[in-house]
Amino acid sequence: MKQHFSVSDDNHYGLRDYSRMGKLGRSFMRHISVPVKVISFTAIVYLCVWSLEILLLKLGVVDAGVSFLGISIEHIFFAVEILSVALAASVGMHLFLERPMERLTAVMKKAKEGDFLVRAPVTSEDEIGDLARAFNQMLSKMTDLSANKIQSDQDVAMIQEQLRLQSRLEEKSAIIERTNRTLEHLVKDLSLIYEIGQEVNSIVDIDDLYANITETLKRYLRISEFAILVFDEKREELLIKVAHGFADMESVFKTSFRLGEGVTGLVAETGKKIYIKDTTRETRFLNYKCEKPSEPSSFLSIPLMYKEEVMGVINFARGGTSSFSYQDVKMLSLVANQVALAIANSKLYTKTRELSVRDELTGINNRRYFQQMLNMEWKRAIRFKRDLSLIMIDVDHFKSYNDTFGHLEGDRALKQIGQTLRKHLREVDTVARFGGEEFVLLLPDTDKRGAIAVAEKVRLLVEGHSFLSAENRETRQMTISAGISTYPDDVDDIDDLIDHADIALYRAKENGRNRIECYESKKEEDAGDVVLEAAKKDGIREKKSAGVVH
């Protein structure tokens, strides 16, 4: 056991000796010059090769008297020694000279490109190491110089900036003073604009809006005359909706302008404001097509624009020449923006209300909604080859009912009829007020026989319904007439579905009312022609053929 530990300890100490010798060797190699390193490395390799040859000969692995291809073993060993020396010298040159120089050259290239923070690796104490240290010292000095230059440039730039700011300080002070005065006026103008905006944007009804704009602008603006003209798409003219301060208001309100006509029409056409400092010298100024005043005045016309669309024009006038300052023009332009926004909001509200899917009086769907559903159900019927029926209903003698009991009672009756129709139809069916006292029923997946059953059902419901007066003191009776058309039996076009139901409805009226008639395309041709002629007199569109059956 002791012997075991003794051997282990000897091995351990031997390894430590080899490690120390390795460190000493590396330290030795670091401190000698490059040529000595190359020679030493070559000599070591040569000694190793020579020792190997001697060992091979002594061990008898190689016989000294043997020759190979006529060459003695001594000559072969000599050649191997020469090759090993050459190879060792080449490897030594690469390890101790070329590779360190490549590293140093790479660092120099980076420094050449402006990277002064890079440093060459110092791995030895030989000539290459001395060169790397010297190069690193040079880079350090260049880095310091570069930093000093940057700092100097910054100092110079700062001084120049201070001088520039100092030279402009007096100018800026004057500008600030003028700006403060401008801001005071601007705050007043903005407060005025805000108040005007609050006034006019709180109203959505277009007629109420025009009246409110008149009073608001009169209250806030010191303007002798002003007018607002709105473009009418149907007439393609600018119509006056608001006017103030004119001697002949009636004539002014009758005035209209085409696009491009006069100053007002030109502003509407181009979307750019026009300021006339003296109206007596401007031939384009038409003075609302009235007699021009002999005294000079100033005229400002500004487009009313919303989302880059010209909706109209607002005009301002003051007595005297050049009566509107630059600040006045800016402020009145902001007023025009507020007015344009208010008009746009009002129009949007009106359009939204008109496009609502509910009929305000009866609470059922309106004609627009019916048209949407008709388009959808028609496409579905065409695609899936399904039946689609339409029932057009008209209240009998409704005009007489209105004349006798009044329009309010007539409205109550229409509402009750509408609710009755909606209550007794399927969810998939569409009930809508078509207009006036007319109602329309759209029945998907329903053939003519089914449509007749539905029409007769609602006819009996209305006939049996007691229409109460507003005070519930008396009951009245009403009846309806109905016309039916069905796809694909009667029509192959969506418009014909409505038109043929209209024709059938007209026949129901002609045949005594309180009844149902169906359109029949292949029967009673002559009778159909008579119906068409009568229908044309009542405003029903002409069709090629018509016939009705009960």
Torsion (CA) 442, 447, 450, 454 in degrees, nearest 10: 20
Over residues 55-77, mean pLDDT: 74
Q: Which residue has the higher pLDDT, 427 or 77?
A: 427
DSSP 358: B
411/436 Cα distance (integer angstroms): 10
Q: How many residues does the chain have?
A: 550
Give the pLDDT of residue 276.
Answer: 93
30/125 Cα distance (integer angstroms): 5
- 390 and 339 in one domain? no
Over residues 58-68, mean pLDDT: 73
Residue 315 lies in a domain: yes
Let me know: does 396 contact 514? Beta carbons within 8 Å. Answer: yes
- 392 and 322 in one domain? no
- 312 and 226 in one domain? yes
Using the predicted structure, report yes or no on whether residue 457 has a pLDDT greater than 50.
yes
Over residues 490-508, mean pLDDT: 95
Using the predicted structure, report yes or no on whether residue 434 has a pLDDT greater than 80.
yes
Residue 10 lies in a domain: no
Host domain of residue 422: 367-549
Give the pLDDT of residue 483.
Answer: 97
Residue 224 lies in a domain: yes
Percent of the chain with pLDDT over 70: 86
Over residues 407-422, mean pLDDT: 93
531/518 Cα distance (integer angstroms): 13
- Among 320, 354, 388, the domain-final residue is 354
CATH of the domain at 539: 3.30.70.270
Over residues 523-543, mean pLDDT: 44
- Among 150, 171, 192, the domain-final residue is 171
Residue 44 lies in a domain: yes
Give the pLDDT of residue 189.
Answer: 74
Q: Which helix (H) or strand (E) holds 311?
A: strand 309-319
Let me know: does 429 contact 388? Beta carbons within 8 Å. Answer: no
25/41 Cα distance (integer angstroms): 11
> Mean pLDDT lowest for which of 115-119, 137-141, 389-393, 446-450?
115-119
CATH of the domain at 245: 3.30.450.40
- 259 and 154 in one domain? no
- 324 and 436 in one domain? no
- 395 and 540 in one domain? yes
Residue 24 lies in a domain: no
Residue 15 lies in a domain: no
In 10 A of CB 299, how many CB atoms? 23
Using the predicted structure, report yes or no on whether residue 124 has a pLDDT greater than 50.
yes
- 218 and 96 in one domain? no
- 302 and 384 in one domain? no
Give the pLDDT of residue 380.
Answer: 96
* Closest listed residue to residue 532, CA positions, set 516, 521, 518, 543: 543
Give the pLDDT of residue 543.
Answer: 34
> Mean pLDDT lowest for which of 292-301, 353-362, 468-477?
468-477
- 373 and 504 in one domain? yes
- 239 and 217 in one domain? yes
Residue 177 lies in a domain: no
Let me know: does 494 contact 378? Beta carbons within 8 Å. Answer: yes
User: Per-residue pLDDT tens for 243-265?
Assistant: 998 888 888 999 999 999 999 99
- 262 and 153 in one domain? no
Name the domain count of the chain.
Answer: 3
Residue 7 lies in a domain: no
Q: Is 271 left (phi over 0), alpha (psi -120 to 50) or beta?
A: left
Let me know: does 298 contact 321? Beta carbons within 8 Å. Answer: yes
- 436 and 390 in one domain? yes
